[in-house]
């Protein structure tokens, strides 16, 4: 961590500090909703197999009339008003709000001293042992690493580490920035992030 610089709030543009936290809440809510699989599915009485024959005579048995053994009141029958996988949980988020959510998440991390700018994130050996040593040098619980362009060796080194996540700048969003305890970002990526705001 000798070459890492901790970003201070004073280093941030004013636009980062003026974002309302509700933007981050709405973005994270939509992000989690969009991950939902919508796989819960039940069959109604018309979709359950069997039950073509009337179970017993309409009259003379002293019982209530029944038309199918696959009606909801029978064991093995259809489900009334059950969930179907036709439900869509996706929520739309505007491009501007995505940007504001990321800005607020970054500002919060900076306020807590959890954003580190480094010249380069590169593990030339491709060994997980070296990547783990690099991770441990920051003494953080878990870290989001943001690299300009991920090379094969660095990807292999970080791939098997559970407390790290290596991404490129186009994958950076408000949810990931908020979810991780700290962010380590390359200098070139950080300058672009500040410049774009």
pLDDT, mean of each 10-residue run, the chain (197 residues): 74 87 95 90 92 91 93 94 86 93 93 90 90 92 92 92 92 94 92 79
Based on the fold, state whether residues 176 and 159 are members of the same structural domain.
yes
- CA-atom Rg of the chain in angstroms: 27
Pairing of strands 182-186, 164-167: unpaired
Based on the fold, state whether residues 53 and 130 are members of the same structural domain.
no
Based on the fold, state whether residues 20 and 114 are members of the same structural domain.
yes
pTM of the full structure: 0.78
Residues making up the chain, counted from first to last: 197
Give yes or no for a contact between 115 and 181, defined as CB atoms under 8 angstroms apart: no
Residue 63's domain spans which residues? 38-88
Number of domains in the chain: 2
- Among 24, 192, 28, which residue's Cα sits nearest to residue 104? 24
For residue 188, the domain's CATH number is 3.40.1370.10
Based on the fold, state whether residues 101 and 191 are members of the same structural domain.
yes
Cα 191-154-175 angle, rounded to 5 deg: 55
């Amino acid at each position: 961590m000798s070459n890492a610089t901790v970003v201070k709030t004073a280093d941030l543009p004013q636009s980062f500090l003026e974002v309302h936290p509700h933007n981050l809440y709405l973005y994270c809510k939509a992000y989690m909703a969009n991950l939902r699989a919508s796989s819960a599915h039940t069959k109604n009485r018309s979709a359950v197999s069997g039950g073509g024959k009337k179970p017993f005579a309409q009259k003379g048995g002293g019982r209530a009339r029944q038309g199918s053994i696959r009606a909801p009141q029978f064991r093995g029958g259809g489900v009334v008003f059950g969930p179907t996988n036709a439900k869509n949980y996706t929520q739309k988020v505007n491009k501007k709000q995505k940007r504001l959510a990321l800005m607020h998440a970054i500002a919060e991390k900076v306020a807590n001293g959890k954003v580190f700018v480094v010249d380069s994130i590169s593990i030339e050996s491709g060994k997980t042992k070296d990547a783990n040593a690099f991770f441990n040098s920051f003494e953080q619980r878990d870290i989001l690493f943001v690299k300009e362009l991920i090379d094969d060796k660095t990807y292999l080194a970080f791939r098997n580490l559970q407390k790290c996540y290596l991404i490129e700048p186009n994958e950076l969003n408000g949810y990931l920035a908020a979810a991780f305890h700290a962010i380590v970002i390359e200098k070139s990526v950080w300058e672009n992030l500040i410049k774009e705001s």
